[in-house]
Amino acid sequence: MIVMKFGGTSVESAEAIERVAEIVASRSKRSPVVIVSAMAGVTDQLVSMGQKAPSGDCEISLGALESMRERHLHTASELLGKKRAATLASRLEPYFSELENFIRGLAAVRELTPRGSDYLLSFGELLSSIIVADAFAARGLNAAWVDSRECLVTDATYTRAVPQMAETRERASKKIMPLLSKKRIPVMGGFIASTREGVPTTLGRGGSDYSAAIIGAALDADRIEIWTDVEGMMTTDPRLCPDARTIKQISFNEAAELAYFGAKVLHPATLLPAIHQNIPVYVLNSRNLKSTGTEITAQAPRSRDVFRAITAKKAVSIVNVVASRGIMVHGFLRSVFEALDRHAASVDIVAISEVSLSFTMETKRLPQALLADLEQIADVTCENDQAIICLVGEDIHGKPGIAASVFNTVAEAEVNIRMISQGASEINISFVVSESDVPKAVRHLHEYFFPAGKNKMAIAKRNGGVRERKRVNGSASGVRASRLANQKEKPAGKRAAAGTP
């Protein structure tokens, strides 16, 4: 059995959904379970409705809801023809009425709670999955819509719920396995789940990838396919750098590091369930049926380049904490880390000197209460609009001169580096720059480390043989790798990685 996940752009229109149906039909013998995102842009629109309605802007939100309704019904009629679309419309209308009531309720109570937000955002995937399932059926695929909220069980951390694997395994098997044994193709929404008690939750923005991996692990899939709008995982975001190349094969550890440090093509937690069960993951292009994409497995052949890829994580803040005079150094560090722990702060990069400590966090996750707490023990300043640039590659371990090449290249781009981290993870070099410098820095680094054609020889020479040295370490260790290992539920299976599609 395989899991196939299609992202927002892959289901954004009737034409895109047609392509999805063709791709799924080409895999029908492999017992696919299909997971879809909301149509492109829909989750953002729901977020915006949820922000506007409580501030009293109910009419704007209701107007946006009406266009959303028209878009879904129009897509359905393009896919299904008038008669079948009318039947589907009567199934979809109750969802739009529910949404309308909810928006009016938000305007009345003037508040959107995290729990309410998950309820609101769940409609995007509910609607798209119902339409896709019907479009499949109309094309002769034996599809069955499955309510993800009855399969995926999470805790109650609304907006970023944590999956409860044992229960998910039980519920998902009960719901999905009988369908597969009848040769049906289950179609479900990604991103959404529910608590044990049935309250809707979401896995965080971009979480449909994660749903695919959770369901893949729960059902012990042979492979997990992430179908998106690019050729696979690339050497950098192709939107930042048009010269980005597709990475044919990459290891779990490298791909996890890239996802964590901003490669939006995969939700950062996606690989955890796959790693636990050693299930190969493929990133493929839904606009190209013949796509071979990227294969992500426990071990990947060494790359010809020094690094596997470059990513940038934007919207980051640097917090500088400087000890007030008279505070003992060891006591100072303890107090700072205790404060971070109290606020469950997830810190990316830390730099420590005797009496000061700087750390970075995603700005939206930086609790104001943490800053207030730190101000009790130190002078605190906070700088927003920063970004972490991260170069990842398992082959960099133990090779001299690589950091120097990275920082020289950044200097050539006339970009100022604010913080540096190398060593915590042996498979990456990361540093902080101002967000506005990201395009310049990434393009320079990409040109240097992934030279195209003629440039290649000249730059390899300039690299002083860095590219030529032998691989020292066969497998990645590093902080994230051991963190992944610590989260293992059961030992990785013996399954060999499947071939490319």
Q: Structure tokens of 442? A: 């990434």
**Residue 239 interacting partner from ligand ADP, ligand ASP, Mg ion, none (CB closer than 5 to 8 Å by kind):** ligand ADP
Distance between CA atoms of residues 329 and 323, nearest Å: 8
End-to-end distance of the chain based on CA atoms, in angstroms?
A: 14
Identify residues 102-141 at the interface with ligand ASP (CB under 6 A).
Answer: 124
**Which residue from 175, 205, 264, 469 is in contact with ligand ASP, where contact means CB under 6 A?**
205
Q: Can you give the three-state secondary structure of 304-337, one letter per residue?
A: CCCCCEEEEEEEEEEEEEEECCCCCHHHHHHHHH
Smallest gap, in angstroms, from Cβ of residue 208 to ligand ADP? Answer: 6
Using the rule CB under 6 A, give the single segment among 1-9, 78-86, 162-170, 446-454 that binds ligand ADP. 1-9
Residue 9 as a binder of ligand ASP (CB under 6 A): the answer is: no
Residue 38 as a binder of ligand ASP (CB under 6 A): the answer is: yes
**Which residue from 102, 158, 191, 282 is in contact with ligand ASP, where contact means CB under 6 A?**
191
Distance between CA atoms of residues 267 and 286, nearest Å: 18
Distance between CA atoms of residues 9 and 18, nearest Å: 13
Residue 189 as a binder of ligand ASP (CB under 6 A): the answer is: no
- Nearest to ligand ADP of 137, 272 (CB atom): 272
Using the rule CB under 5 A, give the single segment among 7-15, 71-79, 145-153, 292-300 that binds Mg ion. 7-15
Site map 399..438 versus ligand ADP, x via CB under 6 A: ----------------------------------------
- The sign of the dihedral angle between the CA atoms of 217, 222, 228, 230 is positive
**Residue 234 interacting partner from ligand ASP, Mg ion, ligand ADP, none (CB closer than 5 to 8 Å by kind):** ligand ADP
- The sign of the dihedral angle between the CA atoms of 23, 207, 162, 131 is negative
- Nearest to ligand ADP of 127, 265 (CB atom): 265
Residue 8 as a binder of ligand ADP (CB under 6 A): the answer is: yes
Q: CB under 8 Å to 90, separation ≥6 — which residues? A: none
Distance between CA atoms of residues 258 and 263, nearest Å: 5
Q: 119 vs 45, 51, 112, 263, 318, CA distance in Å?
A: 14, 14, 10, 27, 33
Using the rule CB under 6 A, give the single segment among 35-43, 242-250, 369-377, 448-456 that binds ligand ASP. 35-43
Residue 268 as a binder of ligand ASP (CB under 6 A): the answer is: no
Using the rule CB under 6 A, give the single segment among 205-213, 284-292, 446-454, 457-465 that binds ligand ASP. 205-213
Residue 389 as a binder of ligand ADP (CB under 6 A): the answer is: no
**Which residue from 54, 116, 190, 206 is in contact with Mg ion, where contact means CB under 5 A?**
206
For residue 284, which of 29, 21, 500 has the smallest C-alpha distance? 500
For residue 132, which of 283, 14, 4 has the smallest C-alpha distance? 14
